[in-house]
Structure 1
């Protein structure tokens, strides 16, 4: 199922808050902030019809101790998608009180 996901599935959700279910049963509410194509991450030998690598930037809507792990989320046209690896990001030049995450797709 992960191979069917493309950037457009998350673009439809930009600005929306989605519920991510962790393998532990805990729920994490994350706002989809950005969807960025990563053409430089594409293998030179990749076929033209292969998915373009992309990243999804997320922000937690409430404080969380979650760092990273496998999650499940509902995506338009695909339904429930499991085994998404959600990774915590440093705030860097952003609000240090917020909790930022990303999902990478190659």
Structure 2
């Protein structure tokens, strides 16, 4: 299913809070901050690559791994690899993540 995911599946979620299912079974509330298209990375005949920025306002010890998320248009998206990114001047109490779809 991951190969069918498009930026348009995430764009309606920008600004909303979703629940990310972590690999260890815990649930993490995250806010979808933005969806960035990556046109310079697109290969001919392939989908438009994009990245989704997520924020866990309450922080977490989770760093990275395959997670699941319910998408309104498609249902449960399993195996989505979520990576933590540095705060870089943002609120140090929150945790910041990125999901890249190539």
- Distance in 2, Cα, partners of 1:88 & 1:10: 18
- The aligned counterpart of 1:25 is 25
When normalised by structure 1's length, the TM-score is 0.91
When normalised by structure 2's length, the TM-score is 0.94
Structure with bigger gyration radius:
1
- The aligned counterpart of 1:39 is 39
Report how many residues are paired: 102
Answer yes or no: is 1:101 the counterpart of 2:93. no
> Runs of at least 4 residues of structure 1 off by over 6 A?
none
Q: Check whether the contact 1:69–1:87 (CA below 8 A) recurs between aligned residues.
A: yes
Query: Please, what is the CA RMSD of the aligned residues?
Result: 1.0
5+ residue gaps in structure 2?
none
5+ residue gaps in structure 1?
none
